Chain A
Amino acid sequence: GQQLNQSPQSMFIQEGEDVSMNCTSSSIFNTWLWYKQDPGEGPVLLIALYKAGELTSNGRLTAQFGITRKDSFLNISASIPSDVGIYFCAGHPPSNYQLIWGAGTKLIIKP
């Protein structure tokens, strides 16, 4: 089936640093979404992107829908302790309801 390559798998960062992660696919998507999962919880939608080239912000988070429709990135500026968690990208193919998920990027903030 379709797969998303999400990188990096994990990141150790200092509080206050900026963070960048991305997802790529071998096929096009109609939407790209970024979710965050806190320990012991279900994923929560952070940002949804609907058009190629779209750049959207949600507070300190910024995400972009790649021009080729095969990639997306998420940036977090000035990271804080509550940013810890797993960030998932997900893409919606043109065909149906089956959302395709990346394997996640685990964000860990050094004390």
Chain B
Amino acid sequence: NAGVTQTPKFQVLKTGQSMTLQCAQDMNHEYMSWYRQDPGMGLRLIHYSVGAGITDQGEVPNGYNVSRSTTEDFPLRLLSAAPSQTSVYFCASSYSNRAVVGELFFGEGSRLTVL
């Protein structure tokens, strides 16, 4: 089982460039989410989805877009990258009835640097 797969693992962008971080899970999880992790801070929720066609904003959604066209995939788009978006990004998924109590499966992370 692959679990939660994120690509790319590393990316360097210039300010203003756009890119998409990919996330795929093969566990048939309804719930998927994106977090960012910055030094000295806990994980902060960017966007989440409770099923195909349904997305919602988390704590820090500005500068990011998401869509959920299939159960398996939940890409995160940066439309115009800024240095403040330099971070490690994690995708996490779960069954809905486990997500409501916080039990999540995480990918290995995507480290993004914006110059």
Contacts and interface: CB of A to CB of B under 8 A. Distances in A.
Interface string A50-87: 10000000000000000000000000000000000000
A92 to B, nearest CB: 4
Contacts of B40: 9, 103
B24 to A, nearest CB: 14
Contacts, number: 65
Nearest to A99: B102
Contacts of B108: 40-42
A107 interface: no
Interface residues of B, number: 27
Interface residues of A, number: 27
Nearest to B3: A42
A21 interface: no
Given A40-B109, A97-B50, A31 B102 contact: yes
B7 to A, nearest CB: 14
